[in-house]
Structure 1
Amino acid sequence: MGLQGPSWGTIRLSDAYNTSLSPAPVTPTTGSGPYELLSGTIRSTLETHLRKDGLPMTAVVSPGLMTDTRYYWNLTKHIFRYGHQGAADAYNGIHTINEGQRVPTCPGLDYSTTCSYSSRGVLGADSVLYEAYSQR
């Protein structure tokens, strides 16, 4: 089965510099305190601020692809990257010589929501640590 046709040789793939890297481990999300803290902070920040058009924000938090995390694999199984910005805020491509970041243009993502997100994250983490250590 498959495509049939003439063959003009073979292709051999190899790791010429012996630098291959295994796929990154999957970060736990279900029943994971760190993921629940991060996603809860994101949702509570966005859903309590009104968009500039007066409508409520709806936040969907889902895991995605992360690059350059291999240096953290032995440190923790909870590796997250999050930038509090809207999709329209980046321009000119990513990782280019001309990469840029706009002042937030996504409705509701402004300086005050960024400050709110940061303070909620710190307070949420502090609360989790307080509960964990006070039960000892």
Structure 2
Amino acid sequence: MALFGPVEGGHLLGLAARLVAMQHYAATAATLGLTERGGIQDFAAFMVALATAQGDRAEITAVPGGGLIVRQQGLSLLRGIPHPHPTMLEAWNELLISALAAHDRFACLGFVSGPGHELSWHLLTTG
């Protein structure tokens, strides 16, 4: 970000996050003690386990009409950065979106901003 600026740096960071997630999702899930079965419930469990491993709290809530919401309190990766640029969070979202693509290509993930330091994602099955 400091070298390329927020727009170009954020874009490059997002691309790197996508590549890392696609290449390392299965190994990361296994390290977290999760099996790679597919489906949004299993991916939501992956997101909660990942947040917990980072020292953050997360929970899963079913959405009436379909899908799941994963809520996470804070993002420890950005702690200690005085004024993190929004593109840093966008890059984290790129990592999660690509991990989901490796997990279940028929599912999609949308970021929903939450109150305070809460982060929320909506998981849906499209296929």
TM-score, scaled to structure 1: 0.31
Structure number having the greater strand percentage:
2
Structure number having the greater helix percentage:
2
- The structure number with the bigger radius of gyration is 1
TM-score, scaled to structure 2: 0.33
